Amino acid sequence: MNKTIGIFGGGQLGRMMAQAALPLNLECTFFESNADCPAAILGQVYSTEQDPNALQAFIESADVFSLEFENTPLADVDRLSQDKAIYPPRQALATAQNRLLEKELFQRLEIPVAPFRAVDSLESLQTAVAQLGLPIVLKTATGGYDGKGQFVLREAEQIDQAWQELGPAKSLIAESFVQFSREVSIIAVRGQDGEVKTWPLAENHHHHGILSHSIVPAPRSEALQPVAQDYITRLLNHLNYVGVLTLELFVTEQGLFANEMAPRVHNSGHWSIEGAVCSQFENHVRAVAGLPLGSTEVVRPTVMVNIIGQHPKSEDVLALNGAHLHLYNKSEREGRKLGHITLMPLNQSELTHLCRQLAEILPEPLALTQDITI
Ligand code: AMP
Q: For 100-119, give one letter per residue: b (16+ CB within 10 A) or e.
A: bebbebbeeeebbbbebbeb
Q: Supply the CATH number for residue 285's domain.
A: 3.30.470.20
Q: How far is the CA of 214 from the centre of ligand 1 (A)?
A: 16
Give me the helices (H) in the chain, please. 12-21, 54-61, 74-77, 90-96, 99-108, 122-132, 159-166, 224-238, 272-275, 280-289, 314-318, 348-361
Taking the CA atoms of the chain, what radius of gyration do you get in angstroms?
A: 21
Q: How far is the CA of 87 from the centre of ligand 1 (A)?
A: 27
Q: How far is the CA of 147 from the centre of ligand 1 (A)?
A: 7
Is residue 374 in a domain? no
Same domain, 147 and 286: no
Q: How far is the CA of 24 from the centre of ligand 1 (A)?
A: 38
Among the atoms of ligand 1, which is closest to the Cα of residue 136?
19
CA dihedral 7, 307, 143, 136 (to 10 degrees): 140
What DSSP assignment string belongs to 58-104? HHHH-SEEEES-TT--HHHHTTS-TT--BSS-HHHHHHHT-HHHHHH
User: What DSSP state is assigned to residue 276?
Assistant: B
User: Domain ends where: 174, 208, 223?
Assistant: 174
Q: Looking at residue 168, what is its pLDDT?
A: 86
Phi, psi (rounded to 5 degrees) for 369: -65, -35
User: Domain ends where: 148, 174, 200?
Assistant: 174
Q: Looking at residue 349, what is its pLDDT?
A: 87
Q: Looking at residue 60, what is its pLDDT?
A: 96
Q: For 173-182, give one letter per residue: b (16+ CB within 10 A) or e.
A: bbbbebebeb
Is residue 238 in a domain? yes
Q: Looking at residue 207, what is its pLDDT?
A: 87
Q: Distance between CA 349 and CA 56 in Å, rounded?
A: 54
Residue 325 CA neighbour count, 13 Å, CB half? 18
Same domain, 130 and 16: no
Please give the residue range of the domain that contains residue 326: 180-359
Same domain, 71 and 190: no
Residue with CA at minimum distance from ligand 1 atom 1: 147
Do 236 and 245 form a contact (C-beta atoms < 8 A)? yes
Same domain, 146 and 184: no
Residue with CA at minimum distance from ligand 1 atom 9: 147
Same domain, 257 and 130: no
Q: Supply the CATH number for residue 146's domain.
A: 3.30.1490.20
Q: For 270-292, give one letter per residue: b (16+ CB within 10 A) or e.
A: bbbbbbbebbbbbbbbbbbbebe
Q: Looking at residue 36, what is its pLDDT?
A: 95
Among the atoms of ligand 1, which is closest to the Cα of residue 114?
19
Residue with CA at minimum distance from ligand 1 atom 18: 177
Q: Distance between CA 333 and CA 331 in Å, rounded?
A: 7
Q: Looking at residue 363, what is its pLDDT?
A: 80
Same domain, 55 and 167: no
Q: Which residues contact 211 (CB under 8 A, 6 or more apart)?
A: 204, 205, 267, 268, 306
Same domain, 270 and 310: yes
Same domain, 79 and 222: no
Same domain, 200 and 339: yes
Q: How far is the CA of 240 from the centre of ligand 1 (A)?
A: 27
Do 142 and 95 form a contact (C-beta atoms < 8 A)? no
CA dihedral 162, 167, 168, 169 (to 10 degrees): 110
Q: Say if residue 217 is preceded by a cis peptide, omega within 30 of 0.
A: yes
Same domain, 56 and 129: no
Same domain, 212 and 261: yes
Q: Distance between CA 362 and CA 305 in Å, rounded?
A: 10
Is residue 104 in a domain? no
Q: How many domains does the chain have?
A: 3
Residue with CA at minimum distance from ligand 1 atom 7: 147
Q: Centre a 10 Å sphere on the Cβ of residue 186 and count the other Cβ atoms it contains.
A: 31
Residue with CA at minimum distance from ligand 1 atom 2: 147
What is the best residue among 119, 177, 180, 259 to mutate for testing ligand 1's pocket, by most ligand atoms within 8 Å of CB? 259
Same domain, 201 and 308: yes
Among the atoms of ligand 1, which is closest to the Cα of residue 149?
2
Q: Distance between CA 332 and CA 310 in Å, rounded?
A: 5
Pocket of ligand 1 (CB under 6 A): 114, 137, 144, 147, 175, 177-178, 183, 206, 248, 259-260
List the binding residues for ATP.
99, 139, 144-150, 175-178, 183, 206, 259-260
Per-residue pLDDT of the chain (374 residues; tens, 9 = 90+): 579 999 999 999 999 999 999 999 999 999 999 999 999 999 999 998 889 899 999 999 999 999 999 999 999 999 997 789 999 999 999 999 999 999 999 999 999 999 999 999 999 999 999 999 999 999 999 987 666 789 999 999 999 999 999 988 889 999 999 999 999 999 999 999 999 999 999 999 998 889 999 999 999 999 999 999 999 999 999 999 999 999 999 999 999 999 999 999 999 999 999 999 999 999 999 999 999 999 999 999 999 999 999 999 999 999 999 999 999 999 999 999 999 999 999 988 898 889 889 988 988 655 565 567 77
